[in-house]
Structures are given as C-alpha cells and as structure tokens.
Chain A
Amino acid sequence: MQNYIADEGRDLTVAGRSKSMRVLVIEDDRETAQFLQKSLKESGHAADLAGDGETGLSLAETGVYDVLIVDRMLPKLDGLAVVKSLRTGGLRTPVLILSALGEVDDRVKGLRAGGDDYLTKPYAYTELLARIEALSRRAAPEEQVTKYVVGDLVLDRLSHRVSRGGEAIVLQPREYRLLEYLMKNAGQVVTRTMLLENVWDYHFDPQTNVIDVHVSRLRSKIDKSFDKPLLHTVRGAGYMVRDGAG
C-alpha cells in the first residue's frame, strides 16, 4: 500500500473528476437528507430533496435527474413502491436504495423492485458517493466497449489480455476481473464493498483486510515495475484506477 495518494480522500470531487450530477434524494429524515444535500453539493453535484414517497415520485417522473437516492421506508408511499411505479412508467433513471434492513433477502427484494444498487444504513458517505457515481456512469449509453485504456495500461475484453506500455501482464482470472471492474470505473472511487459485491459476488463483511491484499497483489503486477502508478488507494474510501497525469 505504498502508493496511496496522501490526502485524496479529502478532495474526492477533484479526484473523481466525474461530471456534475443532478441527484434526487427521497428521504424522510430531514437531517440525513440535508447532510446528503450538503455533502453532494460539496462533491460538485446538485441535489433536490423530497420528504415523502408521493412528492419523490412526482419529482422523479420529471426525468431531469441523473440518479435517485430512495430511502426504503417513507411516509405516504413506500420506497420500493416508488421504484416500482417509476419502472412501470418506463423511467430508467438509476436508483440507489437506502435501507436500515440489510439482510441478503432485503437486498434481493430491493433489486427486484427495480433498484440498481442497495446500501445499508448506516453507511459512509464516501461509499454512497462512489456508488451513485458508478450508477450514473452505468446509465450513460455504453457502446460495446471492447477495450479499457488508462494511460499506457490496456485491458482487452475480447482476448482477455492485459498489457502495460506494450508489455504483456499475466493475471489470474480473479485478478483480471478485479482490474476489469476498476478500469471500467476508471477515474472514480471504487469501495472495498463494491469490489466484494461486483468481483466476487460476496455480500458479507470480511473481518480482515483481504480485499486490500488482493488489490496489492494486482498492483504489484501492473504498477511495480513502472514509474507512474495507476492503481491508487483513496484513503477512507477505496481504490481508483487513474492516469495521474491526465
């Protein structure tokens, strides 16, 4: 972990360089909602608030938002019902469901209702931010990308080959999938939980730093013999693949 960028966590907006998003937060707890609004604003995004399901639904239906953050338990109209009726109405805006219920079956229910991601309370803001940024990117029209390129690092999704500066790098299948996910979200923070869920499909909290070990193994293969590191540790948040100079 020798390569982490000292205080990048402080400055996620700049580090993330993601486009400014317009976010709708449907959350009945005013304090949480205002915290999110303020934090999102500081991260360079605009956030509107809705205090109940009905208001949230009518705002969301305008279609002007890039991402919706929907609390699961809401007055007037339950969060899952909001998502369901949005989806029935044909709206594809990505939805992150927030819930105090965190078991696997709750997650499954949330995703089945039409949510794109599910985050259990209490959560770290960095985790939420990383996830909605990943969601907004997922929603962007993604033509069949066959190649990810970050700096001189190239991952070919057809031949499953990875090379840096023209030099082939041999990766284990799992390392390949780890790098693929990181490069797919290049320029954005990817949290440990996101890696765990998306690369391994594990939905539990490993009690040890096992993800860090996987990442540092990958790093030793793609960064070690090169001057410029591409795989960065974002303190307090997770990891990011980024071409430092760009």
Chain B
Amino acid sequence: MTVLDKFGASVWTSTPFRLAALSIAAFLVTAAGIAGFMFWQTNDLLTEQVLAGLRAEVQEMRHMEAAAGSASVAAAIKARARPEGPGLYFFADKSGRKQAGNLSRQPPELSSEGGGTFRYEREPGDERLAVALPISFSDGTRLLVGRDIEEQRVFANHMRTVFLLGFGLLSAAGLAGGLGAGRLLLNRIDQINAASRSIMAGDLSRRVPVAGSQDELDGLAGNLNAMLDRIEQLMGGMREVSDNIAHDLKTPLSRLRNRAEATLRDGGGDCDAYRAGLERIIEEADELIKTFNAMLLVARLEAGALDGQAEAFDIGGLVRDVAEFYEPLADEQGLDLTVEADDGARVVANRHLVNQAVANLIDNAIKYGRPETPDAVGSIRVTLRILTETVEIAVEDLGPGISADDRERALKRFVRLEASRTKPGTGLGLSLVAAVARLHHGTVRLEDNAPGLRAVLVLPRARQGISA
C-alpha cells in the first residue's frame, strides 16, 4: 500500500478507477463461475469414465465367479495385477487374508460394502489416490477392484493453479489499467480545474487546454471554451452598456451641477436670477429623469417577457393614430408627413409599447430627417406592409440617414450615436424600438432610403386563433 499511496488518494476515488475495479470484479465473478463449472464437469466426466471401467470389470469378475468359481477369479487377478499398472486388486478369503492382487492390504477408508476413494502407497513414500469397488462372492471371498487416479488428481490441481494464477494476473492488470486511466483522466481534469480556478479568479481570457485527441474530454473542453467566449462577450457587452449608461447619466449630471454652481455664483442676491437658474436646474433634472426612465424601460424590456400585457389589435389603426399625433409637429418643422396604413392585420402585442416604438421612429424621422440641401422639401413617409407572417411598419425620411457602419450600433442597447447628443431627447429611441421588437419576437431593420433613413419595425402577425 505504501508504494501505491504516492498515487494520491484521489486516484483511488477517481471515477475511472472505480469503474475499472467494478468491471474487473464483475468479470472475475463471471469467469470464476464459468471456469469452476468447466472444472467440475471435466472432473466429473473423468471420474465417470473410471467408474464405468470399474463397473465393467466388476461385472466381468462376477460372471467369471459364477461360471468357474472364485479360484478362477484369483487366477485372473494374479494375471492382471501388475505392480505399476493402473488396475488395483485385492482378493481376500473369508477371513480377509490376501490371496492375490497388487494392493498390500484392504484400504482402511473403505467399508466392505461400499466403494470409494482411498490412498495407498505404490512404493514407500509414494502415496497416491485411487478409487475402488468391492465385490463379495458367494463362497465368502471378497474382491476389491480399483483404479489409480493420482494423475487425474494432479491434473485437476494443475488446472486449479492455472486458473487462480490467471485470475490473479487479470485482476492485477485490470486494476493497474484502471489506475492508469484514472491518473490520465485526473491529469486532464486537473488541467480543466486549474483553468476554471484561474478564470474564477478573474482571468477571463484564460481557456481550458484542448488535447487534440477529439475525445469526450476535448468535447467538454471545447464546450467550456465556447461558453467562456460567450460569457466574455456578454461581459464585454455589459461593460459597454455600463460605460454608455455612465456617459449618458454623467453628462447631464455634471451639466446639472454646473448650472447649480453657476446660479449660486452669478445670482448675487438677485431673486429673479436665482429663480431662472433653479428653473433651468429643474429642466435639467427632468431631462435626466427622462433618460433614466428610458434606460430602465429598455433594461426591463430586455430582461422581461410580455406577461399578460399583450392584446390583439389592428396595427393599421395604431400606425395611423401615431402618425396623426405627430403630423402637426412635422408640419411645424416644414416636413410633409404621409401615412399609408390599411386595416386588416392584427398583432398580439403590448399596445402601449408598440405605440411608443412607432412614436419613436416618427419622432426620430422628424428630428433627424431634414434634407441636407437647404431648399429641398423634407418628407416623411409612414407605411404599413402586410405580409403573410409579419407586418412591416416603415418610416422613411430624406435626411442624412445613418452610415452603414453605424446602423447596427444604433440598435444596440443604450447606444447613442454622436448626432443624437446634440438633439433633445434621450437618444435611446432606436434602442427602445429594438427592445420592443425583440420582446415581441420581431426585428428592426435600418436601411438606406437613398437619401435618408428607412427604419422598418417588423412584428409577427397574430395567428387566426388568437386574433379573435
């Protein structure tokens, strides 16, 4: 045990070792059963052969005695009994004195009636195993007919030794194999554990080593690595989000603070100056609250489900209403707002959120959709396209649009494009539209309207069963 102790207790408790030990045990039990059965069968067969020979000879002797009397039997025994042959004989008269045969005496283990095994000495010191059947003749003489089965016994012993040795070897080899497999596996698992520990300690760039053997452990390591990639990516996303939040909240917060400071400094005891300053501070605070609310809403939408707030309604009416709501504003800004939205397509959605999403798209178009050339007339087109599976609400403007590189970014969580920082509002409009779309299993596409931006909100249509 001391030699094996250096493998460490963990090898003994490792899964491969336990599995190996278990399978070896099962194998040995089965093999021992089979070998034992074979051994017993062989032995039985050999014994049966010997006994059959004995019975035949006994029969022959009985016939001989019946035909010619016990004297002829004695004569035959004399002829048959050779000192070193397999046949053993002991012929005795009524008083038990030996008349013929190669056995020196009646074996003490045998009674006069039954047959059985006994030991005898062929030569002094050479004790051998034998089996014999007794016969009693009518004139009172008795004959013992036997066979030497020492060779059979030796064979059986030999067989037993071979089996035991074989089992021993098999067990040793199996356990050694189990230990080896256990150590091999433990090494790999230790590597994975070491990598996990250092990742837990904060080194997110570390990866689990892959041995390249394409086995299950490699598969596991590969999956772990893929999971780590995803986590790292999510963490990166989180960091970006918190950076964006920090930026979007810190900027107005410091503006708020500056304004308060300026009011305090420049007020100079003039009540009206203080009042004006404080009013502007309240305005700043309101803007901050709006931004914060928008962020909170986006975060909740990203995390949440529709939980019971969804209803089926006709999307055409909603789009027309929101467009109508914004029409005076567009008009005031010198933009021509047209809407083409027919009834006939229902969606299952949170009406308030879809209202807000469509409003944000139109709001954006009014804010950013002014044509770049000063004398061009701007126009905003709101359309509803009804497809078999989805509805597409598109808002098109003729403004500068969003460059192809920025389009994807614009839909990300809490991302404000540079342009939005100078305009009123939280700048989170598109983030919110994207979040609303995701919540309803829809999508948002930003396309080039050449010139301008074409923003498309795609929502799944209500299936017939739900629309009722």
Interface residues of A (CB under 8 A from B): 102-105, 108, 120, 122, 124, 174, 200, 202-210, 213-214, 217, 236
Not counting A102-B293, A104-B350, A124-B282, a sample of 15 additional A-B residue pairs whose C-beta atoms are within 8 angstroms of each other reads: A104-B309, A105-B308, A122-B285, A174-B324, A174-B325, A202-B325, A203-B355, A204-B356, A205-B294, A207-B360, A207-B426, A208-B329, A208-B367, A213-B329, A214-B325
A contact residues around B297 at 8 Å (CB): 103
B contact residues around A205 at 8 Å (CB): 290, 293-294
Considering only residues 318-359 of chain B, those with a C-beta below 8 Å from chain A are: 321, 324-326, 328-329, 332, 350, 352-353, 355-356, 359
Choose from B282, B350, B366 the contact partner of A208 (Cβ within 8 Å).
Answer: B366
A contact residues around B360 at 8 Å (CB): 207
Q: Nearest-CB distance from B256 to chain A (Å)?
A: 13
Q: Which 7 residue pairs across A and B have the least CB separation, nearest first?
A: A207-B425, A204-B356, A104-B352, A213-B328, A210-B329, A213-B329, A203-B352
> Interface 1/0s, chain B 264-293, versus A by CB < 8 A?
000000000000000100100110011001
Choose from B282, B300, B328, B426 the contact partner of A103 (Cβ within 8 Å).
Answer: B300
Q: Given the known A-B contacts A124-B282, A203-B352, A213-B329, are A208 and B293 also in contact in the complex, defined by CB atoms under 8 Å?
A: no
CB–CB A210/B328 < 8 A: yes
A217 to B326, CA, bound (A): 13
B424 part of interface (Cβ distance < 8 Å)? yes
A204 to B297, CA, bound (A): 10
Residue contacts A-B, CB under 8 angstroms, 28 given: A102-B296, A103-B300, A104-B309, A104-B352, A104-B353, A105-B309, A122-B285, A124-B282, A174-B325, A200-B325, A202-B325, A202-B352, A203-B352, A203-B355, A204-B352, A205-B290, A206-B359, A206-B363, A207-B425, A208-B363, A208-B366, A208-B367, A210-B329, A210-B363, A213-B329, A213-B332, A214-B325, A214-B328
Q: Given the known A-B contacts A105-B309, A208-B424, are A202 and B355 also in contact in the complex, defined by CB atoms under 8 Å?
A: yes
B307 part of interface (Cβ distance < 8 Å)? yes
CB–CB A207/B363 < 8 A: yes
A contact residues around B356 at 8 Å (CB): 202, 204
Residue of A108, A122, A200, A208 with most chain B CB atoms under a 10 A cut-off: A208
A124 to B412, CA, bound (A): 31
A217 to B355, CA, bound (A): 23
CB closest chain-A residue, reference B357: A204
Q: Nearest-CB distance from A122 to chain B (Å)?
A: 6
Residue of A174, A203, A205, A207 with most chain B CB atoms under a 10 A cut-off: A207
A contact residues around B308 at 8 Å (CB): 105
CB–CB B352/A210 < 8 A: no
A103 to B296, CA, bound (A): 9
CB–CB B326/A210 < 8 A: yes
B contact residues around A213 at 8 Å (CB): 328-329, 332
A contact residues around B293 at 8 Å (CB): 102, 120, 205
> Interface 1/0s, chain B 144-178, versus A by CB < 8 A?
00000000000000000000000000000000000
Q: Nearest-CB distance from B424 to chain A (Å)?
A: 6
CB closest chain-B residue, reference A212: B329
CB closest chain-A residue, reference B352: A104
CB–CB A122/B325 < 8 A: no
CB closest chain-A residue, reference B272: A7
Q: Nearest-CB distance from B451 to chain A (Å)?
A: 22
CB closest chain-A residue, reference B360: A207
B contact residues around A236 at 8 Å (CB): 279, 282
B contact residues around A105 at 8 Å (CB): 307-309
Interface size class on chain B is: 35 or more
A209 to B350, CA, bound (A): 25
A contact residues around B326 at 8 Å (CB): 210
B429 part of interface (Cβ distance < 8 Å)? yes
B contact residues around A203 at 8 Å (CB): 352, 355
> Interface 1/0s, chain B 363-386, versus A by CB < 8 A?
100110000000000000000000
A176 to B332, CA, bound (A): 20
A34 to B240, CA, bound (A): 40
CB closest chain-A residue, reference B432: A204
A contact residues around B289 at 8 Å (CB): 122
Q: Nearest-CB distance from A8 to chain B (Å)?
A: 14
A contact residues around B286 at 8 Å (CB): 124
CB closest chain-A residue, reference B296: A102
A124 to B285, CA, bound (A): 10
Q: Nearest-CB distance from A177 to chain B (Å)?
A: 12
A50 to B426, CA, bound (A): 36
CB closest chain-A residue, reference B309: A105
CB closest chain-B residue, reference A205: B290
Considering only residues 2-41 of chain B, those with a C-beta below 8 Å from chain A are: none
Q: Nearest-CB distance from B100 to chain A (Å)?
A: 117
B contact residues around A122 at 8 Å (CB): 285, 289
CB closest chain-A residue, reference B290: A205
A contact residues around B321 at 8 Å (CB): 200
CB closest chain-B residue, reference A175: B328
B contact residues around A120 at 8 Å (CB): 293
B contact residues around A208 at 8 Å (CB): 329, 363, 366-367, 424-425
A202 to B353, CA, bound (A): 10
CB closest chain-B residue, reference A102: B293
CB closest chain-B residue, reference A202: B355
Q: Nearest-CB distance from A1 to chain B (Å)?
A: 12
CB closest chain-A residue, reference B322: A202
A contact residues around B363 at 8 Å (CB): 206-208, 210
A217 to B65, CA, bound (A): 147
A202 to B326, CA, bound (A): 13
A205 to B286, CA, bound (A): 11
Q: Nearest-CB distance from A201 to chain B (Å)?
A: 9
CB–CB A204/B359 < 8 A: yes
CB closest chain-A residue, reference B293: A102
CB closest chain-B residue, reference A218: B328
Q: Nearest-CB distance from B298 to chain A (Å)?
A: 12
A210 to B424, CA, bound (A): 12
Residue of B296, B352, B363 with most chain A CB atoms under a 10 A cut-off: B352
A contact residues around B332 at 8 Å (CB): 213
A contact residues around B328 at 8 Å (CB): 210, 213-214, 217
A209 to B353, CA, bound (A): 20
A200 to B352, CA, bound (A): 11
B contact residues around A103 at 8 Å (CB): 297, 300
